[in-house]
Amino acid sequence: MPVIESRYLCPWYLRNGHIHSISAALFRKVGDLSFSRERIKTPDDDFLDIDWVRNPSRRIVLLIHGLEASSNSSYIRGMTKALSEKRFSVAAMNLRGCSGEMNQQLRAYHSGATDDVDTVVNHILKSNACDELMLIGFSLGGNLVLKYLGEKGTTLPHQIKKAVTVSVPCSLAACADKLDQRVSFIYRNRFLKTLKQKAASRIHSHQFKQTEEKILSAKTLREYDDYFTAPLFGFKDASDYYRQCSSAQFIKHISVPTLILTSQDDPFFTADCLPFDECRDHPNVFLEAPEHGGHVGFIGDVPWGKYYSEERALEWLIQ
């Protein structure tokens, strides 16, 4: 039962995962939305920026963006607007180095860095009147949400009631290998360009085992993770990083109602990224995997119009 049939009806002209994903990324603009920024300290003497839309509500939703995105990404802004219209307060977390200002420490973010998620969750609960805290993660942010929920298990703060993830790569190795294929080079190169630039700028002011030239030489995401992510965070190599941080293995421990919305034509993923086996008999985690939808797409009619992912998330959180 927890693998559920989707009601999403993809527009006929978007039944190609690449076109769907690119259309959502390029053609959607979400105006009429103003964030207020809060900067919080981390235990390692660094900072995280949270962008808020506050309502007179004791229900708060924490949003976590994907790889090399930010609170200004159209899907974060779209979800924020949809939630705010239903009177939720929204906290859009910016991962380290993604808020427009580089962090003070050498460490960056990565797909399994749930310590920063925990820092933000604890801050929200300590500093706000909150009866219900819900989590929504997109892509890499979705992996963080599932991993965080699974790590906490039954020890989650009692205010955390529900979660939604959209286009989440439950197998990081499969996702990286798919993006490193020739057909996906446009996405890969876009990510690699900014990842390498940020990594190179970080090591100028910190001691690090790899040289700037070595990091900039990375031609694939796996090479980047071998040269930078793995040694920075104490993994043996990229494969060890992917193995330890892929969210699929944490799903079995999730204790709150959680929706995973991922399309089967997501151009970033292979079939291994969809956790059918992990969700099939799970009492709390529900997988909705429509045939179409692209990556963080799920356009309802036109790219500048309604989005099924937002309607579905609202339905899940309110029900």
Q: Render pLDDT for 162-207 as a digit per residue (tens, 0 to 9).
A: 999 999 999 999 999 999 987 777 888 899 999 999 998 888 767 7
Q: Which of 20, 110, 292, 295 is catalytic?
A: 295
Q: Which helix (H) or strand (E) holds 242?
A: helix 238-245
Q: Which of 207, 225, 245 is the last residue in one of the domains?
A: 245
pTM score: 0.96
Average pLDDT over residues 56-62: 95
User: What distance in Å separates the CA atoms of residue 188 and residue 223, rounded to the nearest whole number?
Assistant: 12
Residue pair 70/140 in contact (Cβ under 8 Å)? The answer is: no
Same domain for 257 and 295?
yes
Q: What is the CA radius of gyration of the chain?
A: 18
Q: Which of 73, 139, 171, 309 is catalytic?
A: 139
Q: Supply the range of the domain harboring residue 146.
A: 3-171+248-318
The answer to whether 295 is a known catalytic residue is yes
- Give the total number of structural domains in the chain: 2
Same domain for 97 and 176?
no
Same domain for 74 and 223?
no
Residue pair 63/296 in contact (Cβ under 8 Å)? The answer is: no
The answer to whether 201 is a known catalytic residue is no
User: What distance in Å separates the CA atoms of residue 265 and residue 6, rounded to the nearest whole number?
Assistant: 14
Q: What is the pLDDT of residue 205?
A: 63
Same domain for 131 and 200?
no
Angle ∠(270,273,275) on CA atoms, nearest 5: 135
**Distance set, CA 264 to CA 9, 158, 217, 274, 301 (Å):** 14, 33, 33, 8, 19
214-230 pLDDT, tens digit per residue, is: 999 999 999 999 999 99
The answer to whether 139 is a known catalytic residue is yes
User: What distance in Å separates the CA atoms of residue 257 and residue 163, rounded to the nearest whole number?
Assistant: 7
Q: Which of 193, 218, 245 is the last residue in one of the domains?
A: 245
